[in-house]
A and B are shown apart, each in its own frame.
Chain A
Amino acid sequence: MNAELPRAMGRAALGLATFALITAGSVALTRDLTAERIADNRQASRHREVAAVAPAGHDDRLLDHVLSRPAAPMFGFEAPITLWQARAGERVLGVVVPVTARQGYSGDIAMVVGLDTAGTITGVRVTDHRETPGLGDRIEARKGDWIEQFTGHSLTSPPAGGWAVGQDGGGIDALTGATITSRAVVAAVHRTLEWFETQPGSLLAPPATGETP
């Protein structure tokens, strides 16, 4: 065996290790310098989304009032639910629920749905999706007002059977050329309302004593 070979291999390994250290170090440094800002960005972006659908008059500390509920696969919640309470002081004005519509045209559609104490929708926003640009992406609030039409409706308005797009005999207009996308959003909003009904009062309970307001 060539006596040079082990030494060459050792040199190569050492060189590569040095490189890995330097590059990984620079990535770690950048991450360290940006981590706080990125976390702030995420939080601020989340807050904007939640605030856009929350009942009016809240104390603007939506993300501080977190509730947890177990998963409810029947209503489309595959994972435990983490939702936000909209409060004004001790008074609970409603909740904002993160919802995932799983029957989108291309993958999941992430949304937030705001509900007041009576179970009336105070707003719906799509937060993440991969629907077709120009067709399905008009579910975004900044590309069209389609998503606004849910505001003010509840489980009983439109009445039974009405919670479907027109093509399915329901009372909600689908986006032109994006029936599947519209259907997925409508179904997910409807299921959220049904789930809300199964949570009598507990979602709207005022903050427990001892908790900082």
Chain B
Amino acid sequence: MTTPSLGEVSRHGLWSNNPALVQLLGLCPLLAVSSSVVNALGLALATLLVLLGSNVAVSLIRHQVSGTLRLPAFVMIIAAFVTCAELLMAAYTFELYRILGIFIPLIVTNCAILGRAEAFASRQPLLPSATDGLMTGLGFGAVLVLLGGLRELFGQGTLFVDMDLLLGPAAAGWGITVFPDLDFLFLVLPPGAFFATGLLIALKNLIDDRLERRRQARLPDRPRETRRVRVTGTIR
């Protein structure tokens, strides 16, 4: 397996292979915790930390662990990072730790993390692996925060409420009420999370489609393809 360039790794993690919108991994925490920006950001940071740490650790030991030991070793590494992240959150962002509750230990079950360890970090040198962890984490986190913002804004009519739980007293005044008296319960509850995620996926596909069409249009006039009958693949 050749080592892809860092730019390529970043593009994959953030967009073309986004864990939440393309791979559809880690949906359980994504849907459950994205009811407000502060919850989403908290889980996004914890996931990012774990993903970065586990990718680095897995990459460092990739020559030492043999085939049979690989998966149990990865699971142990990820579990250790998650437990450390949980302890750190309990120590430094206690109120948020209480709100996120069970979803912090459940980062362990986010298949995006084991997926990146197995598919990428176990075969690649340190720097690309770290970049991959960072970018995949950012890609996942961006979707999480976007979803949190959407659901908070159109579900409760507010934005950035309670940010001080995560960012300290300086952020206490960040909360803004956009639509007073809005109470669109559907978006606050899990079904709304499914719908909002679906809309985000559709939006991403739409953008991809537009980009592709523009790229096609910019290409110099190619000689018209001769029509031929194909038995496999799609006919364009």
Range, interface on chain B: 20 to 34
Residue B196 interfacial (CB < 8 Å): no
Q: How far is the CA of A164 from the CA of B91 in the complex (A)?
A: 40
Q: Separation in Å of the A19 CB from the closest CB of chain B?
A: 5
Q: Report yes or no: B88 in contact with A15, Cβ–Cβ below 8 A.
A: no
Range, interface on chain A: 20 to 34
Q: Separation in Å of the B117 CB from the closest CB of chain A?
A: 14
Residue A157 interfacial (CB < 8 Å): no
Chain B contact surface mostly = helix
* Chain B residues positioned under 8 Å from A30 (CB to CB): 83-84, 87-88
Q: Report yes or no: A20 in contact with B76, Cβ–Cβ below 8 A.
A: yes
* Per-position 1/0 for A56-100, Cβ under 8 A of B: 000000000000000000000000000000000000000000000
A134 contacts which of B72, B84, B156 (Cβ < 8 Å)? B156
* Chain A residues positioned under 8 Å from B69 (CB to CB): 12, 15-16, 19
Residue B29 interfacial (CB < 8 Å): no
Given that A19-B73, A20-B76 are known contacts, is A31 also in contact with B87, CB under 8 Å in the complex?
yes
- The number of inter-chain residue pairs (CB within 8 angstroms) is 63
Q: Report yes or no: B189 in contact with A24, Cβ–Cβ below 8 A.
A: no
Nearest 3 CB-CB pairings of A with B? A23-B80, A34-B91, A41-B94
Interface residues, chain A, with chain B CB atoms under 8 Å away: 12, 15-16, 19-20, 23-24, 26-27, 30-31, 34, 37-38, 41-42, 45, 128, 132-135
22 A-B contacts (beta carbon < 8 Å):
A15-B65, A19-B69, A19-B72, A19-B73, A19-B77, A20-B76, A26-B80, A30-B83, A30-B87, A30-B88, A34-B88, A37-B91, A37-B92, A38-B87, A41-B90, A41-B91, A132-B189, A133-B35, A133-B188, A134-B156, A134-B183, A134-B185
